[in-house]
Amino acid sequence: MAKYPLVLVPALGSDERLWQPVIDRLDGVTCAVIRGAGDSVEAMAESILAEAPDEFHLAGISMGGYVSLELALRRTGRVRSLALLNTSAAAAAPERRESSLKVIELARTGAFDQAVGLVSAGVAPGHPDVVEVAARMSHDLGAEVFIDHQLAVLNRRDRTEEVAELDLPTLVLVGAADGIVSPALGGDLAARVPNAELVTLDGVGHLCTLEDPERVAQTIQGWLARTEGRVER
């Protein structure tokens, strides 16, 4: 049984369904999926801290990784270790900002279906079921939340220099077929975080927790076991 609970932060346009296949495969781990609220990474971090346990392991995927980095860099003493999946420490590149602005405009002008379809581009080929679940989550959360998430992602701060200050056991997981956050960005993040562990999943795209929950769960289970052996009270 893990000593500390595991807080899981979903990606843009996603809820607990993004993490559930991994949760189902974890043994002896108390999990809490906390989505966070607001239209900025900072606001989401604040809302997660308000709901989270006093001390916890933390894992975030994609946008959830940006929020998790914000939480870890605040040095509250509550985060015991950090797992960052399909994410980076960099600010949004100009082409990504432009893409987000276009998607926001679509969502605001009644073309929500089209907007949702564009954000599934990072899923590796051969996973129509994952694309369907991703679209369903976005639709269920609604256009307002979807737009908030897009604003948070396009306006996020660059943390590439700050991550060198992290003193938490850190796992960075990348999908080799990720079309949204390139494996190179994940590798760069892992290289910048002191003593970070880098894991690359071949054949896996941006929504790794749905595309290959078995390997993701195995990776997190092992990471937690190693981490709890290192964490001191």
Q: Give pLDDT tens digits for 60-69.
A: 999 999 999 9
How high is the pLDDT of residue 139? 93
CB 65 within 8 A of CB 91: no
How high is the pLDDT of residue 115? 86
Architecture of the CATH domain 6-93+151-230: 3-Layer(aba) Sandwich (3.40)
For CA atoms 34, 35, 36, 42, the dihedral sign is positive
Side chain identity, residue 41: V
Q: Which two tokens stand for residue 9?
A: 């932060």
Query: Which pTM was predicted?
Result: 0.94
What residue segments make up the domains of the chain, in order of their start?
6-93+151-230
Ranges of residues in the chain with a pLDDT under 50 are: 232-233
Side chain identity, residue 34: I
Largest CA distance in the chain: 52
How high is the pLDDT of residue 99? 86
Distance CA(146)–CA(112), nearest Å, equals 9
Q: Which two tokens stand for residue 36?
A: 């966070």
How high is the pLDDT of residue 233? 37
